[in-house]
A and B are shown apart, each in its own frame.
Chain A
Amino acid sequence: MEFLAFSLFFYFVVENKNVKKIILPVSFVFGIFCILVYGYFQNPDDLNSITIGIEAVLIIIFCIYYFFDQLKKTDNLLIYDSFDFWIIISFLIYFAGTFFLYIYAESMEKNANFTNEYTLINSSFLIIKNILLSIAMFMKVKTKRISKIPGDSLNMDWPDIQSLRN
């Protein structure tokens, strides 16, 4: 659900139509994969490191693409002036920070020390994520843009003027 919600948000944020076309099938396939994993192979209450790991990697890839997309834009608008930037970095930092944690979580669920480490790391990144999401909620949308210079389109068939030379 978390991944689907993020994908939907990402779908509206990204402008590239080709990437938009990819997001939907990826989300669909990942959704089916999760249903299969939790429906047939594992108890839904247990953690599955593989699904969480794939989710984290996909979200990190989406976030990096978002930054790449922003760098290509010619808007005269600072990236941190938009609320979507703060949402993206909240997810990026959270999923990057907890990536190893969730990878280990399944195999070390019963280790008491790990539970403490899990609580510490997860809570810290959750707080950071929530702070960043709160900043995003207080942002105002700005839409100042610079017009692009039109490209050169001079392809014409001019008459041979050599004959005019004296």
Chain B
Amino acid sequence: MYFLQAEAANRTTILFLGTIGMAVMAIGIVLFVIFHQRKVIRYQEQMQRLEEEKQKMLLKASIRFQEEERTRIAADLHDDAGPLLATARLYLNENLIHQEPAVQLQSIYSAKQIIDDAIQLIRNISHSLMPPTLKNFGLESAMSDLFQKISGSGTLNASSRFHDYRHRLKLEKELLIFRVLQELVTNILKHSNTGFIHLTQNTSGNNIYFRIHHDGQGIVQQEFEKLSHSSKGLGLKNIESRINVLKGRIFFEIDASHTYYKVTIEVPKEPTE
């Protein structure tokens, strides 16, 4: 009310000052919003760049892993299957030179033995690429098989329990999950010096969860992120890249009592059609 009751001269001053003040306030709000938003966008762009760099690193790791896998298969075929088949060929060649039935029989028998070995070798290579248990009976059986083999060594207790896996996922998805779990288990066996490994599976909403517990020396999320961003940790990069393909998430945690570590994988549910 003071404004309305002021003298005429004062009114003009108040009017101009008030108008300028309000205009400055309005412009100030607009400028603040613009600069704040630009700052936020710059930050988002920086985050996007970091994410792109991470994706590139994962892609490189994935390619490197594939190359290593190919080199291993090539070496297996060249160093093991190659000489076996060459030896079998030599024995069969002997048949063409020596005509005596006894010698021929002996060389055919030897060739058969070598071909059997070669078949077994190729079967082993094939199994390492696609485990037959996984293909025929699913992830639950494949993991159970893997843990039975680990437990069979007698050094540690490995077990798995699937709570809700009535509908199998697509084979490609199961293979990816199997590889991730296999890599995690291999890492635990190699680095953690654990006494037990336990895998549990459960579903919640539209997601499937796999959780590995172990009481050895593990890592937490920050260490996982640090390692998967460094030049080391190819296995962890592969895990992350497979998880990305699955459109899932992975969490490395330690329980509140610091007695065991947990690795949880979250994968969107998508049953076989």
A22: chain B residues at CB < 8 Å are none
A80 B34 Cβ-Cβ under 8 A: yes
Bound: A102/B259 CA distance, A: 72
Contacts A70-B33, A96-B22, A96-B25: A76 and B12 contacting too (C-beta < 8 A)? Answer: no
With a cutoff of 8 Å between Cβ atoms, the chain A residues found around residue B19 in the complex are 97-101, 121
Nearest-Cβ distance from residue B178 to partner chain A, whole angstroms: 21
- Segment at the interface with B among A1-9, A10-18, A28-36, A153-161: A153-161
Interface status of A143 (Cβ within 8 A of chain B): no
Give the complex CA separation of A64 and B26 in angstroms.
9
B33–A67 CB distance below 8 A:
yes
Contact A103 B196 (CB under 8 A): no
Q: Does A161 contact B18, Cβ atoms closer than 8 Å?
A: no
Bound Cα distance from A162 to B196, whole angstroms: 10
CA distance A98 to B21 in the complex (A): 11
Interface presence of B159 (CB below 8 A): yes
Please determine whether B3 and A161 come into contact, CB atoms closer than 8 angstroms. Answer: no
Q: How far is the CB of B108 from chain A (nearest CB, A)?
A: 53
A64→B215 CA distance, assembly (Å): 55
Binary per-residue interface labels of chain B (24-37) against chain A in the complex, 1 for a CB within 8 Å, 0 otherwise:
01110110011011
A-binding segment of B72-80, B125-133, B138-146, B202-210: B202-210
Instruction: Encode A135-159 as 1/0 by CB contact (under 8 A) with B.
Output: 0000000000010000001111111
22 A-B contacts, Cβ less than 8 Å apart? A71-B40, A76-B41, A76-B45, A78-B41, A79-B33, A79-B34, A92-B26, A92-B29, A96-B23, A97-B26, A99-B19, A100-B14, A101-B19, A146-B48, A154-B264, A156-B202, A161-B200, A161-B260, A162-B259, A164-B157, A164-B196, A164-B198
Interface residues of A (CB under 8 A from B): 60, 63-64, 67, 70-71, 74, 76, 78-80, 89, 92-93, 96-101, 103-104, 107-108, 111, 113-114, 117, 121, 125, 146, 153-159, 161-162, 164-166
Smallest CB-CB A-B distances: 7 pairs: A100-B18, A96-B26, A166-B195, A96-B22, A67-B33, A97-B23, A161-B213
